[in-house]
Amino acid sequence: VRDNIHAFGGDRDQITIFGQSAGSWSVSAHILSPLSKGLFKRAIMESGSHLYNKDRDVISKSESILVGKQMAKDFKCSESEDWLQCLRSIDAKEFNKYTKSITYPVLGTDFLPISAQKAFQEMKFNSDVDIIAGVATNEGSMFGAIFGLQPTGNTTLDDIKKAIKAADDVYHNLDIHKLEEFYLRNVDKTSPLALREAFSDLLGDLMLKCPTYQFAKQFATSVQNEHQVYFYQVTYMSKTFAKATHCDMPGMGICHCAEAEFVFGEPVTSADYSELDKKFSLVIMKMWTNFAKYGQPDIEWPHLFSNNTIEVKNLNPNPRPNWFVNPYAATCDGVWKDYFL
């Protein structure tokens, strides 16, 4: 893009990269990668960052090579020949069939030599960018099934404990007792819905909310006032999106991806949305493009970290309040702090 954007009327020194979910993970990886230095000026991270347990990454380099070799066997690529070259010749559609679950970036490579935590500690990241980052209120509600928890049915406390153990098998080093104590406090343990909501909160904080927030916070505290960091929490979801994604079911809340349709102007071009949805989409698009052009999304959007206070924009067409102060004190800055930092 940097080499060719001038041919499309673009400015090579004003490039903004942005992504949602796995795309947001990718954006965070570019912020960390020495190979991406100087290639972009601003970044938008919508729900996701490459920041996991401080002591153990999700998948190690050796584990990922074993997975790759198993994939090579499944595709009849012999280990004795150039199996990597063989894999590169496989049709992309075949890879789509092979992928059964979420995959994660691998550390110890040229692209990502060290963890996010170490990169921030040693100032070995691309600090010369401005950032918008943010999350949805109920990030985890879509992902329970990955860990064996269905969105309906007679969920029991034992089911929740098994789901937490399954999450630990993927993300490693969870303090299960502490997390159960925190997320199940004041929860009616005879209510399947209340139990599912509790696990959804835990999972959302583990997978998306705390990694995104802590990444943005560590970046902001590292660069101080040299670059701008803005953070949002989206607290509104269109009925159209809710119906299409089954997020209109009890307990789902404001789901992962809720802001994406507003960012891309879906309500403006489709008849399936309300007038409020259309107006909100226009506001969001203005914020995102203002940030790309000027580095400031909105004059009423405070920086994430200023005067030792955390301020988070309430992304809602009728925000009450306009922003939240220290909204993650008990979670990301509390029960999860030692896990991530």
- Identify the active-site residue in 24, 33, 47, 139: 139
Cα angle 6, 23, 218; round to 5: 100
What DSSP string describes 12-26?
A: TTS-EEEEETHHHHH
- Are residues 171 and 189 in contact, defined by beta-carbon separation less than 8 angstroms? no
Residues 340, 207: Cα–Cα separation, whole Å? 11
Q: What is the pLDDT of residue 80?
A: 66
139 is known as an active-site residue? yes
3-state SS, residue 138: strand
Q: What is the pLDDT of residue 100?
A: 64
Model confidence, pTM: 0.94
Q: What is the pLDDT of residue 71?
A: 85
239 token code pair: 């009925």
What is the chain's Cα-based Rg?
A: 21
- Identify the active-site residue in 256, 259, 281, 311: 256
238 is known as an active-site residue? no
Helices H / strands E in the chain, number of each? 14, 7
Q: What is the pLDDT of residue 99?
A: 72
Residues 294, 289: Cα–Cα separation, whole Å? 8
Per-residue model confidence as pLDDT tens for the chain (341 residues): 999 999 999 999 999 999 999 999 999 999 999 999 999 999 999 999 999 999 998 999 999 888 888 888 888 887 667 888 888 899 988 888 777 667 888 999 999 999 999 999 999 999 999 999 999 999 999 999 999 998 888 999 999 999 999 999 999 999 999 999 999 999 999 999 999 999 999 999 999 999 999 999 999 999 988 899 999 999 999 999 999 999 999 999 999 999 999 999 999 999 999 999 999 999 999 999 999 999 999 888 999 998 889 999 999 999 899 999 999 999 999 999 999 99
- Identify the active-site residue in 21, 33, 115, 141: 21
The CATH H-level superfamily of 5-59+107-340 is: Alpha/Beta hydrolase fold, catalytic domain (3.40.50.1820)
Q: Give me the residue spans of the domains in the chain.
A: 5-59+107-340, 60-103
Q: What is the pLDDT of residue 98?
A: 78
Residues 181, 192: Cα–Cα separation, whole Å? 17
47 is known as an active-site residue? no
